[in-house]
């Protein structure tokens, strides 16, 4: 009888060790960034640009580009998706630089920590990445503090933009493409094959060992604190971040300047720009023109007198 009890206890111990090891392994894999190479530069589009670097509060170096547009009246800050880079090919971010510059906007883009060419090796699932956007804005306002700033985020990056705008002033507007309403809900949807109890254990290890809290980035709880106008964009069918995220964000906001547009019958995640770039850019620029109106200077009497006249 004692032998049976010992065997049962041994099996239970081995099972528990296997469970804990599996949960720790999954937490490590979940928070280990899948670094992608930055493909191309703005010079491929015939654009002059500046390589920029700035430090985060925890001393990580972030790399990016600053592209100037002649007579720019605003600066657009691009915030890429969770697994992307500032030149994300699948979402067309490099090409978007050119479209914004041609419409009279400066563009600042950068790689989040652990992505692209920025330092770091962990995906903190939003617990720390929002400080990366803070560092970008601090850099920008030291360089170009005269121009309005518009944030244009994609997926995870859109969630970061909403979070930062909820606690910082000086943001003229936000374009949120396929925004994440809750990182927990997003990951639970993407990893629905993992049992709920295992998912919670993975979260515990991720939070305590890798500083990655699934509940830290939850824009649905704070979007009502965002005073700046927001344009929420999403596809009708999205297998990574369902349209319910954008719809719930719109429902949670009581701000009349927060609007939503669902691409009818479109399937894909942050892919509408790639397939319908003209419409996407027109819609985005129209929104920016609304939050940053074009200033038309009045013609003064001195200027009127200085106008050349046709010789008789």
- The domain spans of the chain are 38-291
pLDDT tens digits, 50-76: 999 999 999 999 999 999 998 899 999
- Considering the domain 38-291, what is its CATH architecture? 3-Layer(aba) Sandwich (3.40)
Rounded distance between C-alpha atoms, residue 37 and residue 63, angstroms: 13
Q: What band does 214 get if pLDDT is binned at 50, 70 and 90?
A: very high
**Is a pLDDT exceeding 90 seen at residue 226?**
yes
Mean pLDDT estimate for the chain? 91
pLDDT tens digits, 162-189: 999 999 988 999 999 999 999 999 999 9
Scored b (16 or more CB within 10 A) or e, 80-117 reads bbbbbbbbbbebbbbbbbbbbbebbbbbbbbbbbbbbb
Asked which of 87-91, 105-109, 305-309 is least confident by mean pLDDT, the reply is 305-309
**Are 233 and 162 spatial neighbours (Cβ–Cβ below 8 Å)?**
no
Instruction: Give the number of other Cβ atoms within 10 Å of residue 148's Cβ.
Output: 18
Q: What band does 309 get if pLDDT is binned at 50, 70 and 90?
A: very low
% residues pLDDT > 90 (the chain): 81
pLDDT of residue 41: 96
pTM > 0.85: yes
pLDDT of residue 199: 96
């Amino acid at each position: 009888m004692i032998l049976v009890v010992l065997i049962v206890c041994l099996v239970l111990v081995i099972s528990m060790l296997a469970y804990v090891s599996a949960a720790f392994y999954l937490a490590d894999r979940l928070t280990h960034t899948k670094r992608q190479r930055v493909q191309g530069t703005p010079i491929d589009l015939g654009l002059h640009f500046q390589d920029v670097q700035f430090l985060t509060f925890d001393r990580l170096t972030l790399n990016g580009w600053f592209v100037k547009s002649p007579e720019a009246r605003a600066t657009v800050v691009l915030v890429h998706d969770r697994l992307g880079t500032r030149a994300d090919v699948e979402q067309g971010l490099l090409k978007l630089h050119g479209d914004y510059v041609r419409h009279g906007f400066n563009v600042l883009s950068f790689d989040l920590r652990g992505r692209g060419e920025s330092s770091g090796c962990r995906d903190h699932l939003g617990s720390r990445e929002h400080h990366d956007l803070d560092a970008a804005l601090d850099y920008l306002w030291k360089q170009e503090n005269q121009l309005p700033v518009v944030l244009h985020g994609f997926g995870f990056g859109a969630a970061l933009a909403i979070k930062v705008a909820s606690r910082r002033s000086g943001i003229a507007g936000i374009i949120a493409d396929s925004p994440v309403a809750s990182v927990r809900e997003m990951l639970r949807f993407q990893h629905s094959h993992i049992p709920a109890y295992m998912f919670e254990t993975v979260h515990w290890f991720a939070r305590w060992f890798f500083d990655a809290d699934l509940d830290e980035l939850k824009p649905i709880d704070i979007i009502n604190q965002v005073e700046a106008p927001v344009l929420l964009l999403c596809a009708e069918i999205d297998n990574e971040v369902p349209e319910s995220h954008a719809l719930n964000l719109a429902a949670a906001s009581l701000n009349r300047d927060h609007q939503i547009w669902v691409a009818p019958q479109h399937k894909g995640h942050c892919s509408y720009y790639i397939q319908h770039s003209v419409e996407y850019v027109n819609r985005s620029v129209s929104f920016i023109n609304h939050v940053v109106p074009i200033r038309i200077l009045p013609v003064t009497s001195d200027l009127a007198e200085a106008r050349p006249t046709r010789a008789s």
